[in-house]
Amino acid sequence: MRLRVEFTTEPFDLDEAPAHAVVAREVVEAAELDEVDVGPFGNTAEGGADAVLTAVDALLRRSLEAGATRISLQVNVVEESAAGEGER
């Protein structure tokens, strides 16, 4: 099974990436995921279920430890045949 996670961490700081946002980016970039897209207002990552769920666990724990006061996330099942075809 493939999963896609979309997430944001708060509080926002438009002048400089807060520590919790940097940590979240490091977690998903270091994870064994197939696709990672990090942006200023939202982030997505996709991969096998075990890899995504492991990354989400680390993301939540480490971002909260780094000062996040809110983490919003959504996890979706992605059909194998739809991966990369815009059906997200």
Do 21 and 9 touch, CB atoms closer than 8 A?
yes
Identify the residue with better confidence: 84 or 65: 65
**pLDDT at residue 88, rounded to an integer:** 41
Identify the residue with better confidence: 82 or 88: 82
Q: How far is CA 35 from CA 26, 50, 62, in A?
A: 14, 14, 20
Is the pLDDT reported for residue 4 higher than 80?
yes
Is the pLDDT reported for residue 81 higher than 80?
no
Do 38 and 27 touch, CB atoms closer than 8 A?
no
**pLDDT at residue 42, rounded to an integer:** 85
Return the bridge partners of 74, or none: 6
2-16 burial by CB neighbour count: b if 16+ within 10 A, else e?
bbbbbbbbeeeeeee
- Give this prediction's pTM: 0.83
